[in-house]
Amino acid sequence: MKSIAVIGSNMVDLISYTHRMPKEGETLEAPSFRMGCGGKGANQAVAAAKLGSSVVMVSKVGDDMFADNTIRNFQSYGIDTKYVQKVLHTSSGVAPIFVNPSSQNSILIIKGANEFLKPADIDKAAETLKKVELIVLQLEVPLETVYYAIEFANKHNIKVLLNPAPAVPELDIEYACRCDFFIPNETELEILVGKPVDTIEEIRDAAKVLLDRGLSNIIVTLGARGSLWLTKDGSELLVDPIKVDAIDTSGAGDAFIGCFSHYFVQSGDVEFSMKKASMFAAMSVTEKGTQFSYPSIEQFNEFAEKHAN
């Protein structure tokens, strides 16, 4: 089985389902709560592993009550945790998440141990990383580590995917240009380019700004509007969304990235992988939670069969 490395974050998600956000000074009752393993890197790793990829995770946990649970959670999906290490006297990353009645989420992240994932951790994992087909990166760990991972991937001819989430305006686009895939959502694209992204035309124009700066591929995930792939050669593909009744969109972007990575590594076919990723992300929003909402391969295949066109 071809393998994937995710070099990135893990968090403990504290998800409150709300009627509305409290005003300043107000205490407000919310109907329900769920705690689960999350973090953009971890979610992407779990999504790919649930579909059958062989995944190695390079990440940092704290030395608190969450750390062992996070490691056990990775292992329960068969993810290699040799390079998930503890940072002493530090909390694990945590993410209070608020989901409103329209199923949309607002997320705070407290990075904790994720801040301590450094280039030296990539060096420690180098022999394992050299054997993978794809390295997957996000921005919940220090930028210097992300840049170093891109250099590592380029040096060893490994494909690399950067999901610039959460958007960091100071991201050096030169590094993004050294990635095989750059996959923001429309909000991240707006922050990076500073242009409006309300319509598909505006999204296309904003994406072209990055292509003009040297990106080879950009896939913009558009939630309920699908996803848009543009290449430096001028080709374009809009993948339609799968219509579902959403109850919680948390972790849907990560579901897309993890699923895309799995199918791209197996097939090398971007369009096919985007279509699969759209379906997997659509399924994820029909359940509450982040990783909890990702279907098993059997559930996914059944859903994919129903929605095949």
Using rule CB under 6 A, residue 250 touches ligand RIB = yes
- For ligand RIB, which residue of 107, 161, 192, 206 counts as binding (CB under 6 A)? 107
Which residues carry out catalysis? 254
- For ligand RIB, which residue of 40, 159, 178, 208 counts as binding (CB under 6 A)? 40
> Could you count the other beta carbons within 10 Å of the beta carbon of residue 205?
14
Using rule CB under 6 A, residue 176 touches ligand RIB = no
Beta strands in 118-226 (DSSP E): 134-137, 159-162, 181-182, 217-221
- For ligand RIB, which residue of 7, 99, 109, 176 counts as binding (CB under 6 A)? 109
Nearest to 244 by CA among 186, 187, 296, 295: 295
Using rule CB under 6 A, residue 276 touches ligand RIB = no
Strands 94-99 and 105-107: antiparallel
Judged by DSSP in three states, 279 sits in helix
CB of 190 to ligand RIB, least distance (A): 17
Using rule CB under 6 A, residue 43 touches ligand RIB = yes
Using rule CB under 6 A, residue 13 touches ligand RIB = yes
* Phi, then psi, of 162 in degrees rounded to 5: -115, 120
Using rule CB under 6 A, residue 111 touches ligand RIB = no
Stretch that binds ligand RIB, among 38-46, 169-177, 195-203, 299-307 (CB under 6 A): 38-46
- For ligand RIB, which residue of 80, 121, 180, 254 counts as binding (CB under 6 A)? 254
Stretch that binds ligand RIB, among 18-26, 33-41, 262-270, 299-307 (CB under 6 A): 33-41
The residues near 194 (Cβ < 8 Å, ≥ 6 apart) are: none
Residue 33, H or E segment: strand 32-38
| Bond before 166 cis per omega within 30 degrees | yes
- For ligand RIB, which residue of 4, 55, 58, 95 counts as binding (CB under 6 A)? 95
Nearest to 174 by CA among 208, 140, 204, 151: 151
> Using CB under 6 A as the criterion, which residues of the chain lie in contact with ligand RIB when the complex forms?
11, 13, 38-40, 43, 95, 107, 109, 140, 250-251, 253-254, 290
